[in-house]
Amino acid sequence: MAAITAASQLGEVTALVAGAGCDGAAQAAAQIAGVAKVLKADDAAYANALAENLAPLIAGLMADYDGFVAPATTTGKNVAPRVAALLDVMQVSDILSVEGPKTFTRPIYAGNAIATVESSDAKLVITVRGTAFAKAATTGGSASVEAVSATADSGLSTFVSAEIAKSERPELTSAKIIVSGGRALKDAATFEQIITPLADKLNAGIGASRAAVDAGYVPNDYQVGQTGKIVAPEVYIAVGISGAIQHLAGMKDSKTIIAINKDDDAPIFQVADIGLVGDLFTLVPELTGKL
Partner 1 sequence: MSMNPFDEIAVEEAIRLKEKGVVTEIVAVSVGPQKAQETLRTALAMGADRAILVLSEDEVEPLAVAKIIKGIADEEAPGLIITGKQAIDDDSNQVGQMVAALLGRPQGTFANEISVEGDAVVVKREIDGGLQTVRLALPAVVTTDLRLNEPRYASLPNIMKAKSKPLANKTPADYGVDVAPRLKTLKVTEPPVRSAGIKVPDVDTLVAKLKEMGVA
| Residue 54: Cβ within 10 Å count | 25
- Answer for the pair 101, 67: CB distance below 8 angstroms, yes or no: no
Residue 57 Cα distances to 11, 224, 226, angstroms? 21, 32, 30
Instruction: Kindly state the smallest distance separating residue 54's Cβ from partner 1, in Å.
Output: 11
Beta bridge partners of 144: 37
Which residues from 183-212 bind partner 1, rule CB under 8 A? Answer: 201-202, 210
Nearer to partner 1, 5 or 288 (CB): 288
Nearer to partner 1, 6 or 211 (CB): 211
State the Cα–Cα distance between residues 217 and 98, nearest whole angstrom: 38
Residue 10 Cα distances to 3, 16, 46, 70, 251, angstroms? 11, 16, 27, 13, 27
Nearer to partner 1, 29 or 235 (CB): 235
Residue from the set 19, 34, 67, 81 that interacts with partner 1 by CB under 8 A: 81
Residue from the set 30, 51, 98, 280 that interacts with partner 1 by CB under 8 A: 51
Beta bridge partners of 258: 237, 274
Q: Site mask, partner 1, residues 6-35, x = CB under 8 A?
A: ------------------------------
Q: Site mask, partner 1, residues 208-227, x = CB under 8 A?
A: --x--xx----xxx----xx
Residue 288 Cα distances to 86, 277, 282, 283, 291, angstroms? 52, 16, 10, 9, 5
- Answer for the pair 214, 183: CB distance below 8 angstroms, yes or no: no
Which residues from 101-140 bind partner 1, rule CB under 8 A? Answer: 103, 107-121
Instruction: Kindly state the smallest distance separating residue 241's Cβ from partner 1, in Å.
Output: 15
Across 232-265, b (16+ Cβ under 10 Å) vs e yields: bbebbbbbbbbbbebbbbbbbbbeebbbbbeeee
Write the burial class of residue 180 (CB in 10 Å: 0-12 exposed, 13-18 middle, 19+ buried). Answer: buried
Residue from the set 78, 97, 193, 196 that interacts with partner 1 by CB under 8 A: 78
Nearer to partner 1, 194 or 257 (CB): 257
48 forms part of the interface with partner 1 (CB under 8 A)? yes
Which residues from 262-281 bind partner 1, rule CB under 8 A? Answer: 269, 271-277
Q: How many C-alpha atoms does 107 have within 13 Å on its Cβ side? A: 20
Instruction: Kindly state the smallest distance separating residue 220's Cβ from partner 1, in Å.
Output: 5
Which residues from 148-177 bind partner 1, rule CB under 8 A? Answer: 154-165, 171, 173, 176-177
Q: Site mask, partner 1, residues 230-249, x = CB under 8 A?
A: ----xx--------------
Instruction: Kindly state the smallest distance separating residue 254's Cβ from partner 1, in Å.
Output: 10
Size of the site for partner 1 (CB under 8 A): 87
